[in-house]
Amino acid sequence: MASVPRGLSDFLHRYIPEIEREMFEFLPIQEPEAFLYAPMRDYPDRGGKRFRPALVLLACQVFDGNMKNAVRTAAAFEMFQSFAVVHDDIEDDSEMRRGKPCLHKMHGTPLSINVGDALYAKVFEILNANRPLLGAEVALDLIEEMVNGSRETFEGQAYDVGWIRQQHIPSEEEFMVMLRKKTGWYTGRGPCTAGAIIAGASPELRETIGHFGEAMAIAFQIRDDLLNLSTSEQDASVAPGLTSGAYGKERGGDIAEGKRTLIIIDLLRKCAESEKAEVLSILHEERQKNTAEQIERVIALVEEYGCIEYAEEVCRAKALESQQYLEKIPQSAGRDILAEMLDFLVQRAF
């Protein structure tokens, strides 16, 4: 995999430590340490992509805002990410997160649910702390964006887990709606819009950079789903992260969890009826009962029917859509770095 482009790399090395310092300021070590505050720091301590908070700063920079005023909001988005993956791992009964056992595998489900809830509360504690920095009106605008985006994320998650519960295979159109809600906002549109709000950008420019972020996030998630089939747990170096610990999930974990990905949707509309029945039986089985051989069988079918190539094609199309929105924003050094991020996260995979 190509290395991080120089401009993007320099930006991340300069600003990610500031974001992390701000985030950990809101994660103190205090009692009950063992049952709450230490586990709350676990996922943030493991590293991660950190491109969501970076997007907040870059979107602020693009519109000539003061990035120092955006660091706190960037930390809130990274806190939201930690909350989301704690709950997501529980709901999917995932095994690994960033190369280590998931929180609920280490501490149990009840404690981990409480940790996730506490992280979500911290998101709004951080945003509320923006009032002396940005003024009450801007702080409220950012809280409103987070509230609306949270609803979108939870609706998307409801589709994702509900389809598994009902053993429903969505159409590609239904899947893209889910992806826009679950991933498009908090991975792209939300951080970009927040940065634009802090910079005082016009509603039209906020919408444009939001569209850029959403399309990039969808493309990135499709690529991430592809990596779930091609990346072993031990080979995290090829994952689409910006810092260490970006992937670290088990190969074929999405299949074991019964996830309805674009790759699986494409496979089920292409394969023979007997193969479809075989794939569905694996998807509908409890993950602990699926064998490595069954997972590899599905991956082999995915490769046989060209589903990886199809997903790559859709990924490229969303990346092009994202690039077209970016080109509507006035040229600047910040826009150049956003273009590098898009290229690195999505296009360099092919």
- Identify the CA nearest to 252 among candidates 273, 212, 272, 279: 279
Q: 3-state class of 97 per DSSP?
A: strand
CATH number of the domain enclosing 279: 1.10.600.10
With bands split at pLDDT 50, 70 and 90, how would you rate the model's confidence at 242?
Answer: very low
Residue 241 has pLDDT above 80, yes or no: no
pLDDT, tens only, 82-106: 999 999 999 988 888 888 999 999 9
CA distance 54 to 58: 6
pLDDT given for residue 236 in this prediction: 41
Residue 1 lies in a domain: no
pLDDT given for residue 178 in this prediction: 97
pLDDT given for residue 239 in this prediction: 37
Mean pLDDT of 296-307: 95
pTM attached to this predicted model: 0.90
Residue 231 has pLDDT above 70, yes or no: no
pLDDT given for residue 232 in this prediction: 53
Cβ pair 62, 70 in contact under 8 A: no
Residue 15 lies in a domain: yes
Residue 240 has pLDDT above 70, yes or no: no
H or E, element range at 307: helix 307-326
Please count the other Cβ atoms lying within 10 Å of the Cβ belonging to residue 30: 9
Backbone angles phi, psi at 170, to 5 degrees: -75, 160
Residue 74 has pLDDT above 70, yes or no: yes
Q: 3-state class of 100 per DSSP?
A: strand
Full domain range(s) for residue 151? 6-349
pLDDT given for residue 96 in this prediction: 86
Counted domains in the chain: 1
